[in-house]
Amino acid sequence: LPGLSAGPVDFSRDRKWITYVSYPDMTLWRSRIDGSDKMQLTFPPVRAYEPRWSPDGSQIVFMDVRFDSSWKIYLLSPSGGSPEVLTQSNTNEADATWTPDGKSIVFGKTDNISNAAIYRLDLKTRRVSSIPGTDGLFSPRISPDGRYISALTFGQTKLMLFDTNTKHWSSLAKGDGVGYNEWSHDGKYVYMRENRDGAGELV
């Protein structure tokens, strides 16, 4: 995609489509992986960030990170239309990630540092429930098989792992300014970025 000024990007499961945030206007787009069939999905004042395709490719979840209001999570069809806000809370919501069955979304929520935590939203009932032991954690990412959730401590010094079978959290790694945790496609590894001496490294 030569000449494309874009930020966070996500591929559909069939690897035929991408969704991305265009810079500097922060609008959400989707296109085929060769750049054809491009469509703009959001418009100002929405400031889109971190889009994620649903497992079946029928929906995209993304954040609206406006400066003048709380961050919110929205759901949108890749064919366009009006974005649907998922909750009505007044707290910041971020880092939405799909469960493998496409029935739920896991996300982080915070109104200040001490109240950061991770929640699950059932898309059918719209019921929001907290995930145990997540006080002070953010940036949830579900493993491809759905068993594990990786997350970061709010101080960004630890990468944590939650086993949904045992309901137990453990520490995977420690570092300075760790962030942008992502699972490998086979679920065997978690990648993240660490800031060292003012530069970012992938580990």
pLDDT of residue 202: 82
Give every strand in the sheet of 179-183, ordered side by side: 179-183, 190-196, 199-202
Q: Which of 69, 60, 80 shows the shortest CA–CA distance to 20?
A: 60
Indicate whether 74 pLDDT > 60. yes
First to last CA, the chain: 26
pLDDT for res 200: 72
Q: Is the pLDDT of residue 57 over 60?
A: yes
pLDDT at residue 115, rounded to an integer: 79
| CA–CA dist 157, 152 (Å, integer) | 8
Burial of 156 (0-12, 13-18, 19+ CB in 10 A): middle
Mean pLDDT (whole number) for 83-101:
92
For residue 125, count other CB atoms closer than 10 A to its CB.
Answer: 9
In this prediction, what percent of the chain has a pLDDT beyond 90?
Answer: 79
Question: Does residue 2 register a pLDDT over 80?
Answer: no
